[in-house]
Amino acid sequence: MPSPIVVFDLDGTLVDTAPDLIDTLNLILARHDVAPLAFERGRTMIGGGVKPLLVQALATRDIKLSPHDLDRLFAEYLELYAAHIADRSRPFPGLEGALDLLAARGWRFAVCTNKLEWLSVRLLDALDLSRRFAAICGQDTFGVQKPDPEILRRTIARAGGDIALAVMVGDSMTDVATARNAGVPVVAVDFGYTETPPHAFGADRLISHFDALPAAVEALARVRT
């Protein structure tokens, strides 16, 4: 029987991945004699994925690559990042306690991210979190990516959840748009990676710590029933 489900974004929502993403970026830049990017500047660039991160970082140095050269740099980045995917990345505070509480109340969980699926699984495996999620889906899983609502719908279906009892959790306008497009209520976190103030996302709830997640999720579930 379909279950109520919470679907999470990954980078900047479940896990603070910025240290390893920016470390990898700066190692790649150094290999190509490009000056490093300041951590706080790079942190706001993460939400769009690795290729946009590379493009934006290089643009700050007035460098524009051809599609072929960008693909080569992307492959180089992925190889290095995969080897150091959880050197400094950690779950955000309170995550595991919130998952334990919600799981005890019958909720199941899934990940819906624009990160590649195999990288997402590798990261969550390294942090001993994969076992908590009924599905881990990335931009390559179904051939669509956020904000296309189809990736959220298919993630929910793969996890055995009920879209009528689903809640999305994310840290960006893209996450909120994905949820809206799928007709799913959404909780935004204010500790993620975005240049847009989180209160401007238009989410149904905004939280500053995962301790507040169970109450937010269950309030939204009650509204729908």
Supply the DSSP symbol for 222. Answer: H
Query: Which residues is 161 bridged to in the sheet?
Result: 3
Q: Is 195 exposed, middle or buried (0-12, 13-18, 19+ CB in 10 A)?
A: exposed
Element (H, E) at 199: none
Q: How far apart are CA 127 and CA 120, in angstroms?
A: 11
- Structure-block tokens of residue 105: 């109340």
- Structure-block tokens of residue 160: 């055995």
Helix axes 95-104, 213-224, angle to 10 degrees: 40
Active site residues: 9
Q: What backbone torsions phi and psi does residue 129 show, to the nearest 5 degrees?
A: -110, -20
Sheet holding 135-137, edge to edge: 135-137, 108-112, 3-8, 161-170, 186-189, 205-207
Number of H helices, E strands in the chain: 9, 8
